[in-house]
């Protein structure tokens, strides 16, 4: 019999970050095994001139604190996902959410790729392992991961992949890639 019977599972904290409207809330919802928690508010007239809605004009809500979801890997391991707010005015939340994070998914929207620079810099400066997942939106031209890597000037060892944040299987592949990347870095001593 295992000495872990009745023990609290190991908790792994993963962040889902990226620009406003990139699909972070959707990704957390698609992957979470429990009903995910969202702190969303309506986008109001007050956001005009404060938030850049270019490319996401149809967006009606925004995350103001965090999204939360959970995935049980096995009886010993649980992943807790925390989605960060995308607008610069809520960036103070990133520090709090990043504390204790094992790694991060930077969700990129090629309509607003420049929104990823600040997020990537944030994780690089804190040595938090991350991958870039390019969310493939309907009706938007798909870019090859190698082209996105060049555009974002991401280090060659950082995985860049395509995904659909609405599809559970697609998002599972992203999470598997992130966990593999973290393990590879741990094993190499990087």
Q: Where are the domains of the chain?
A: 10-188
Give dist(CA 142, CA 155) in Å, integer.
Answer: 21
Instruction: Count the neighbouring beta carbons within 10 Å of the beta carbon of residue 51.
Output: 18
The tens digit of pLDDT for each residue in 20-71 reads 888 998 999 999 997 766 566 555 565 555 555 555 555 555 555 578 898 9
Q: What pLDDT is recorded for position 186?
A: 87
Phi, psi angles (nearest 5°) of residue 70:
-135, 145
Cβ-contact 135, 66 below 8 angstroms: no
Is-contact 89 95, C-beta < 8 A? Answer: no
- pLDDT value, residue 85: 79
Q: What is the pLDDT of residue 51?
A: 57
Rounded CA separation 148/50 (Å)? 27
Higher pLDDT, 144 or 140: 144
Q: Is 29 exposed, middle or buried (0-12, 13-18, 19+ CB in 10 A)?
A: buried
Q: How confident is the model at residue 2 (pLDDT cuts 50, 70, 90)?
A: very low
pLDDT band at 1 (very low <50, low <70, confident <90, very high): very low
Taking residue 45's Cβ as centre, other Cβ atoms within 10 Å add up to 6
Whether domain 10-188 has CATH 3.60.20.10: the reply is no
- The position carrying tokens 């996401």 is 56
Q: What average pLDDT does the segment 142-157 reach?
A: 92
Confidence of residue 182 (pLDDT cuts 50, 70, 90): very high
pLDDT at 142 over 60: yes
Q: Do 73 and 10 contact (CB within 8 A), yes or no?
A: no
């Amino acid at each position: 019999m295992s000495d872990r019977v009745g023990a609290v599972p190991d908790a792994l904290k993963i962040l889902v970050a990226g620009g406003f409207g990139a699909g972070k809330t959707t990704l957390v919802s698609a992957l979470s095994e429990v009903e995910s928690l969202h702190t969303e508010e309506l986008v109001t007239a007050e956001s005009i001139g404060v938030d850049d809605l270019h490319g996401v004009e149809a967006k009606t809500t925004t995350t103001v604190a965090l999204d939360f979801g959970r995935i049980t890997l096995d009886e010993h391991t649980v992943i807790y996902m925390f989605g960060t707010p995308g607008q610069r005015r809520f960036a103070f939340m990133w520090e709090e959410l990043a504390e204790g994070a094992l790694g991060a998914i930077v969700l990129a929207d090629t309509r607003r790729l420049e929104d990823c620079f600040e997020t990537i810099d944030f994780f690089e400066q804190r040595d938090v392992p991350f991958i870039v997942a390019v969310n493939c939106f309907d009706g938007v031209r798909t870019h090859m991961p190698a082209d996105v890597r060049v555009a974002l000037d991401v280090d060659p060892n950082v995985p860049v992949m395509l995904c659909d944040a609405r599809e559970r299987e697609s998002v599972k592949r992203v999470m598997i890639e992130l966990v593999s990347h973290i393990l590879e870095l741990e094993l190499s001593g990087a």
